Amino acid sequence: MFIYFIGFVVLFLDQFTKHLALRNLSLKSIPIIKNVLHLTLTFNTGAAFGILKGYNPFFIFVSIVIIIFFSLNLKGFEKKNFLFKCSVGLILGGAIGNLIDRVRFGYVIDFIDLRVWPVFNIADSSVTVGIFLFILNHLIRTQK
């Protein structure tokens, strides 16, 4: 149940912030902290960092496979530790958030601009943090 909660929160925040970005940013950049954090609306047809642009059907397929894999194993995941459950919830919520964009628009909506990093969104952050926690959990468990 906790995995569902984390995934839902991520999905809600992701879709809500993307809605706000689409509605309010147009194609201009708004500095929040000048030269550090800007809100910049971009449309990404590729993967992380914009690589493999134009492979949207491939990314839709991969996202669906990942979501199905984790979803089919959720019952067994509930017996796992807190860190593992957080990681799966973050990955699932982020994957579903970006999948919705890919299916709905044909691209992923990005808007968080750190100026030294490609523009990203809540779903991207969640997947990244989720993978980090997943690996960290595995490393902790194998050291015992």
3-state secondary structure string across 83-136: HHHHHHHHHHHHHHHHHHHHHHHCCEEEEEECCCCCCECHHHHHHHHHHHHHHH
What's the CA gap between 111 and 59, in Å, rounded? 20
pLDDT-derived band at 76, boundaries 50, 70, 90? confident
Average pLDDT for residues 13-20, to the nearest whole number? 98
pLDDT confidence tier of residue 1, bands split at 50, 70 and 90:
confident
Distance in angstroms (rounded) separating the CA atoms of residues 141 and 144: 6
Question: pTM (2 decimals)?
Answer: 0.89
Q: How many residues does the chain have?
A: 144
Q: Is 44 helix (H, G, I), strand (E, B) or coil?
A: strand
**What's the pLDDT band for 49 if we cut at 50, 70, 90?**
low
What's the average model confidence in pLDDT over 84-102?
95
> Where in the sequence numbering do the catalytic residues fall?
110, 124
Which tens digit of pLDDT belongs to each residue from 20-46? 999 999 877 899 999 999 999 999 988
Measured distance CA(22)–CA(128) in Å, rounded: 23
